[in-house]
Amino acid sequence: MLLDVREQNEWNLFRIPNAIHLPLAKVSDAAAEALARFPDEAVVVYCGHGPRSAQAVELLRAQGFKASSLAGGIAAWIDAGGEVEQ
């Protein structure tokens, strides 16, 4: 399961298909509700380049989620030829 923690304006530009959007500022308060339909799935978190996703991973792990960060963020995803949608 992919979780995009970028801001709304960044999400509006492009995103990885099928990702869930939850800005970093809302991860602590809204993660349980946003991810409730994926209780046993590992969460791969991404942002633009990596720092925000690393913070989100710490917050998610503290709540008991299996989470990791997409190295290099969506920028690395695009550089590697990964698909994005607008």
Q: Of 3, 16, 19, 47, which one is the catalytic site residue?
A: 47
CATH number at residue 54: 3.40.250.10
Mean pLDDT in order along the chain per 10 residues (86 residues): 97 97 95 85 96 96 94 97 97
Is 86 a member of any domain?
A: no
Tell me the residue range of the domain where 65 lies. 2-79
- Looking at the structure of the chain, the number of domains it has is 1
Q: What is the DSSP letter of 84?
A: -
**What confidence score (pLDDT) does residue 35 get?**
87
**What confidence score (pLDDT) does residue 34 get?**
87
- Tell me how far apart the alpha carbons of residues 72 and 34 are, in angstroms, rounded to a whole number: 24
Is 26 a member of any domain?
A: yes
Secondary structure (3-state) at 68:
strand
**What confidence score (pLDDT) does residue 71 get?**
96
Is 85 a member of any domain?
A: no
47 is catalytic: yes
Residue 74, C-beta contacts closer than 8 angstroms, at least 6 positions apart? 4, 6, 14, 15, 16, 46, 47, 48, 84
Instruction: Please give the model's pTM, rounded to 2 decimal places.
Output: 0.94
